[in-house]
């Protein structure tokens, strides 16, 4: 089946208000009214409303970089799904490798966030991926399988098709290194197989799987040309209009 590509820009902890607005407005103009792919911008929390205003009435979707699983309560510094809805978010990134590595997020916590996101009518972009040590030790398949099964625990078939999975080899994030198209496709195919085991092959065929890890205009065409790669979760290249547009329009 044909899956519509999804290209998401993860701005991480970059930008200020004026540059965030300018970048979003520049992308609105560049992307146009009828992009051939789903385009998502994920700015820092404090600029969600700035970007929401800039993309209002356009096909570009707004996403957050994280959420907390509780509905409300004494959780200083946290943001829940309802709050993200209030500022116009349709997507949320969960389990990014930087949060797993730097903040100790576990698969169980990511699973809780997944269910909170779905309950809040948000599309979760669930990240998985191995470190360089894992890959060199031949543990890629085991690590990715553990993360997929743990992060998607308790997810039923009826909701599964609406999620997005992002495969991000940790060794390729922000390093300038990129998995070859063949390496990326091999893991994407594994993920598709795992999703078929967790749900059904028919459901797995509907789930979009992005690649993330030093994606740029020069390598986007080859990566996105693979059978099981349905888009990209873009870091540094999403901070410049021309670079991000080159990935959005890659064919």
Active site residues: 96, 168
Tell me the C-alpha distance between 72 and 174, whole Å.
Answer: 34
Tokens of 211: 């690649």
∠ CA 29-33-37, nearest 5°, is 100
227, 9 Cβ separation under 8 angstroms: no
How many residues make up the chain in this entry? 251
Tokens of 139: 């543990």
Name beta bridge partners: 144. Answer: none
Tell me the C-alpha distance between 193 and 210, whole Å.
Answer: 15
């Amino acid at each position: 089946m044909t899956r519509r590509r999804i290209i998401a820009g993860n701005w991480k902890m970059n930008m200020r208000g004026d540059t965030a607005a300018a970048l979003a407005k520049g992308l609105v103009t560049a992307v146009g009214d009828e992009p051939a792919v789903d385009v998502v911008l994920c700015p820092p929390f404090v600029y969600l409303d700035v970007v929401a205003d800039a993309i209002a009435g356009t096909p570009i979707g707004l996403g957050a970089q994280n959420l907390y699983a509780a509905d409300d309560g004494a959780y200083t510094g946290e943001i829940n799904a309802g709050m993200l809805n209030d500022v116009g978010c349709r997507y949320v990134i969960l389990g990014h490798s930087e949060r797993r590595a730097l903040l100790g997020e576990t698969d169980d916590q990511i699973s809780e966030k997944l269910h909170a996101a779905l309950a809040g009518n948000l599309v979760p972009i669930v990240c998985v991926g191995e470190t360089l040590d894992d890959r060199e030790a031949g543990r890629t398949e085991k690590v990715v399988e553990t993360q997929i099964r743990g992060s998607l625990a308790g997810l039923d078939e009826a909701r599964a098709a609406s999620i997005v999975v992002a495969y991000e080899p940790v060794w390729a994030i922000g390093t300038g290194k990129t998995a070859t198209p063949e390496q990326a496709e091999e893991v994407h195919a594994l993920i598709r197989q795992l999703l078929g085991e967790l749900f059904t092959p028919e459901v797995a065929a509907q789930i979009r799987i992005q690649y993330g890890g030093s994606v740029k205009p020069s390598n986007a065409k080859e990566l996105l040309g693979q059978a099981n790669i349905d888009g990209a979760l873009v870091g540094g290249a999403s901070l410049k209009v021309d670079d991000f547009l080159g990935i959005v329009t890659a064919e």
